[in-house]
């Protein structure tokens, strides 16, 4: 394999593992143990772990720095505040230098021993190796059902296909990551961006594990907002729906007006009914407000993009030499 960063040919691949952290102090020690153990089974490879502290309020940063001070393979990116997982993942990808990059969740529901399978497939020549969850019984019934509904909906209306039951856990080649870094949008739905970049793709399956430590940071409301972000980022069909609905409503109104003209000509004028008028007015008013709300969703995203604010702000980058210098 040609390594453009080091120059010439090399038999050793550098693999970057990118892990966003937000209040994950309980599982940090076990995470490093299992990731290091997983790479011991992968020949001809070295690795780095890019840890992104996304504004944690607990001892997450202190524990990350403790590990980084004793292991040169660990780099800690400390963000100035909590920007959200998508921004933290973007920060990690921007700082990763590996020949291949693997996003990984700190909750350890994605088993590290699967990394060897990802690397093996990548070495066969694939640009992207996605890890599909073959068994999601560790997730609640509501979460599984809503996730399935979301994937069906977004794949039905978007121009790209987002693989179902696939999270951020995957392997991407250096070329793929460099292509991702060229995408300038601030409203980032990473699963959609991964699919948009494309590349020669392979797939493996694994069983998703229960969360060992801590609690999920994604409430139902945050998951809904993330789903809305994905739909509005990769489809304009929600906007077109109101055009179709308005046209159909106008057509029915036209035929109803013709009916009233004919009936009035034959039978005369009936006493008008306030209830029917009020029902129609309230119904159309509600529909108009829904349409305006959908326009507002897209307009808000245009507003955010127009400001050109960065997706994240790095407070400081820590690695072993910088920590040794601070200690001295």
pLDDT recorded at residue 184:
85
Residues 152-181: pLDDT tens digits?
877 777 778 888 888 899 999 999 999 999
Q: What's the per-residue H, E or C state across the chain?
A: CECCCCCCECCCEEEEEEEEECCCHHHHHHHHHHHHHHHCCCCCEEEEEEEEECCCCCCHHHHHHHHHHHCCCEEEEEECCCCCHHHHHHHHHHHCCCCEEEECCCCCCCCHHHHHHHHHHHCCCCCEEEEEEEECCCCCHHHHHHHHHHHHHHHHHCCCCCCCCEEEEEEEEHHHHHHHCCCCCCCCCHHHHHHHHCCCEEEEEEECCCCCCCCCCCCHHHHHHHHHHHHHHHCCHHHHHHHHHHHHHHHHHHHHHHHHHHHHHHHCCCCCCHHHHHHHHHHHHHHHHHHHHHHHHHHHHHHHHHHCCCCCCEEEEECHHHHHHHHC
- pLDDT of the residue at 273: 62
- Low-confidence stretches of the chain (pLDDT < 70) are 1-11, 136-139, 141, 211-227, 230, 234, 260, 268-276, 278-279, 321-328
**Structure confidence at residue 118 (pLDDT):** 95
pLDDT digits (tens, 9 = 90+) for 301-317: 888 788 888 899 999 99
**pLDDT attached to residue 11:** 64
pLDDT of 270 reads: 61
pLDDT at res. 188:
84
């Amino acid at each position: 394999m040609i390594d453009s960063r080091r120059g010439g040919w090399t038999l050793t691949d550098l693999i970057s593992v990118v892990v966003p952290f937000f209040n994950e102090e309980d599982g940090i020690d076990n995470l490093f143990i299992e990731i290091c153990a997983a790479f011991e089974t992968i020949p001809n490879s070295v690795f780095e772990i890019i840890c992104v502290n996304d504004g944690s309020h607990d001892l997450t940063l202190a524990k990350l720095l403790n590990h980084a001070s004793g292991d040169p393979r660990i780099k800690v990116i400390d963000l100035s505040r909590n920007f959200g997982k998508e921004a933290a993942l973007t920060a990690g990808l921007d700082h990763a230098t590996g020949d291949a990059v693997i996003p990984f969740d700190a909750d350890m529901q994605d088993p590290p021993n699967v990394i060897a399978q990802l690397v093996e497939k990548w070495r066969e020549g694939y640009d992207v190796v996605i890890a599909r969850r073959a068994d999601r019984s560790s997730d609640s019934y509501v979460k599984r059902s809503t996730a399935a509904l979301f994937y069906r909906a977004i794949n039905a209306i978007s121009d790209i296909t987002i693989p179902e039951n696939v999270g951020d856990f995957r392997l991407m080649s250096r070329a793929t990551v460099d292509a991702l870094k060229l995408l300038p949008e601030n409203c980032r739905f990473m699963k959609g961006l991964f699919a948009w970049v494309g590349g020669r793709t392979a797939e493996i399956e694994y069983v998703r594990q229960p969360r060992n430590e801590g609690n999920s940071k994604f409430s139902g409301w945050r998951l809904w907002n993330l789903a809305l972000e994905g739909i509005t980022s990769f489809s304009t069909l929600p906007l077109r729906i109101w055009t179709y609905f308005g046209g159909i409503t106008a057509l029915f109104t036209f035929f109803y007006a013709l009916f009233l003209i004919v009936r009035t000509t034959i039978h005369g004028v009936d006493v008008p009914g306030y209830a029917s008028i009020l029902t129609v007015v309230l119904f159309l008013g509600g529909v108009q407000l829904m349409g305006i709300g959908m326009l507002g969703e897209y307009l808000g995203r245009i507003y955010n993009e127009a400001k050109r604010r960065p997706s994240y702000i790095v407070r400081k980058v820590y690695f072993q030499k910088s920590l040794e210098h601070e200690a001295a």
